[in-house]
Amino acid sequence: MQPVRDKHILQKLSAYSYRCCFVMAVICAAILVIYMGDMSKVYKASFAASSFFFFSVGVVLESISSANLPNFYNDLNKEK
């Protein structure tokens, strides 16, 4: 079994990004709920789509950031 390495900088970045995406999804949903009667159908659809998009991207980025990737680089160096 390969040793598990520390999180890569891109995994740390995706951990920050998924939190931002979840916040943006909540903000879009809150705007949709608060201004439901004042907006046209186009704005309602765009805020609903934005909320769904940010939530979906947040789920993907969370799975990327929580992945335990093995360290293959050390094994390549041992063979030399």
60-70 residue pLDDT tens: 999 988 888 77
Give this prediction's pTM: 0.77
| Domain ranges across the chain | 9-67
pLDDT at 2: 56
Contact yes or no for 72/4 (Cβ under 8 A): no
Read off the pLDDT band of 71 (50, 70, 90): low
Report d(CA 33, CA 51) in Å as an integer: 12
Distance CA 15, CA 74 (A): 25
> Could you tell me what percent of the chain has a pLDDT over 90?
59
Give the pLDDT band of residue 47 (cuts 50, 70, 90): very high
Mean pLDDT score, 36-62: 94
